[in-house]
């Protein structure tokens, strides 16, 4: 993972044209929309339908190449500059997500404990931060599960995307 992480980003449209800078990738279960500014990836989301046209950039094309390699099972760690604005707590959760190894999961409560929190509402706060993750897949919120169930996943595809990614990382076997 690149050490380049910013907590704010500039407008993600191409010099005032209103057309987002990014890339679109077709995957088995849906579309992946990647957005960036001049220096960092700012968004990555699953979509049910093909996103609108975007203006390509070298960074967006590199992100698309890496996400495609990941989806094809040829990449286990991303090396991209990221910018993810959010609350201090949310950013601390997203930073932890980046350290969960490929093919492994952690529980919401475990992450809360690592953050010095210990009750049920703190585990829910970790879940909320995971749901607010602006760079899904690359910041692997899908690797966080509940104590007795899969947990949630914020995307147009919901838990279908989470199961797909967990299965992918387990080599098509069930990770959870």
Could you list the active site residues?
141
Rounded Cα distance between 82 and 41, Å, is 5
CA nearest neighbour of 139 among 151, 154, 150, 125: 154
Q: How far is CA 116 from the centre of its chain?
A: 24
Q: Are 157 and 165 in contact (CB under 8 A)?
A: no
Q: Which residues pair with 36 in a beta bridge?
A: 41
Three-state DSSP state, 43? strand
């Amino acid at each position: 993972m690149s050490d380049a992480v910013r907590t704010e980003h500039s407008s993600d449209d191409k010099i005032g044209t209103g057309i987002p800078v990014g890339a679109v990738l077709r995957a088995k279960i849906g579309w992946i929309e990647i957005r960036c500014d001049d220096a960092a990836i700012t968004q990555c989301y699953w979509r049910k339908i093909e996103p609108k046209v975007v203006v390509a950039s070298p960074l967006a094309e590199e992100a698309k190449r890496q996400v495609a390699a990941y989806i094809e099972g040829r990449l286990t760690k991303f090396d991209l500059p990221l910018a993810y604005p959010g609350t201090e707590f949310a950013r601390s959760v997203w930073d932890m997500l980046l350290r969960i190894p490929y093919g492994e999961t952690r529980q919401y409560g475990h992450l809360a404990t690592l953050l010095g929190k210990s009750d049920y509402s703190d585990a829910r706060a970790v879940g909320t931060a995971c749901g607010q993750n602006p760079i899904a897949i690359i910041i692997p919120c899908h690797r966080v599960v509940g104590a007795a169930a899969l947990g949630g996943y914020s995307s147009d595809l919901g838990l279908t995307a989470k199961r797909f990614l967990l299965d992918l990382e387990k080599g098509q076997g069930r990770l959870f």
